[in-house]
Amino acid sequence: MRNLILSVIAAVMVGSLLAPPVAASNNQGLYWGFSAGQRVDYVVSSLNIADNSTETIEKRYYVVVESLPEIQETIVTLRDLPTTPNCSTYCENGTETEDPAYLWLVLPVGNWSLLISLWLSEQSVTEDNIIDTSTLAGFNFTDVGKKSISTYLEIYQKSTGVLYNYVSTLNYTGPPHPHYSSVEISLIDSSSWPIVPVAVGGAAVAGAVVVVAIILRRRQH
């Protein structure tokens, strides 16, 4: 009997470690589509053309989110969205870094209609600029100035809220130094994401956690 009880207790403890957490929604149905503890891998590419010279850089980084901010009960503007988790960025070799100097973001999931309506009302986009498929959501736009043209693309995974693709370009044609620059962030296949143990209540738990991530949001003019 004693062995049976111990077996049951052990099974419950293992199940609690491996079971994904139940996400709490706000009153608009928004919740985090992942838990802290799993890393997200990205390729960051940049291109700069100026003064008859071309520079291209491509690096891999991964982000590990340690904790997630609380989602307030009612989201009215994009500024109400919690988009900055407590996270660390690492080079491909595992060295922690502050490079790239981007602001990594992630969106709550559960009500993409709300997020799309906020993009339409607060970004320089129309319905023709909205990306809305069964798995992805995002937007793009072009900003034409007197001496420059900027383009911007931002796409997220609907299931996790993780940034899927980001592209920003600037083509400056005015004097004294015409130049072209671009930055792209691309998500690496999420099926390869490894689990990272996270301390919960003083215990290290390597659970079936689903992840987090980032983006940069830097609009160039």
Amino acid present at 130: I
Residue 172: HSE in the Cβ half-sphere, 13 Å Cα cutoff:
14
pLDDT of residue 193: 54
Residues 88-109 have a mean pLDDT of: 80
How many percent of the chain have pLDDT more than 90? Answer: 50
The residue count for the chain: 221
pLDDT digits (tens, 9 = 90+) for 112-142: 999 999 999 998 899 999 999 999 999 999 9
Alpha helix (H) residue ranges in the chain = 2-18, 112-122
Give the tokens for residue 52.
């008859």
Neighbour tally for 217: CB within 10 Å: 15
Higher pLDDT: 217 or 157? It is 157
- The predicted model scores a pTM of 0.74
- Terminal-residue alpha carbon distance, the chain: 72
Domain ranges within the chain, ordered by starting residue: 2-205
pLDDT of residue 201: 33
How many percent of the chain have pLDDT more than 70? Answer: 71
Q: If DSSP states are collapsed to H, E and C, what string results for 140-164? A: EEEEECCCEEEEEEEEEECCCCCEE
Contacts of 182 (CB under 8 A, 6+ apart): 45, 46, 47, 167, 168, 169, 170
In whole angstroms, give the CA distance from residue 26 to residue 72.
7
Residues 17-22 have a mean pLDDT of: 41
* The most confident of 21-25, 29-33, 103-107, by mean pLDDT: 29-33
Higher pLDDT: 58 or 191? It is 58
In whole angstroms, give the CA distance from residue 192 to residue 188.
8
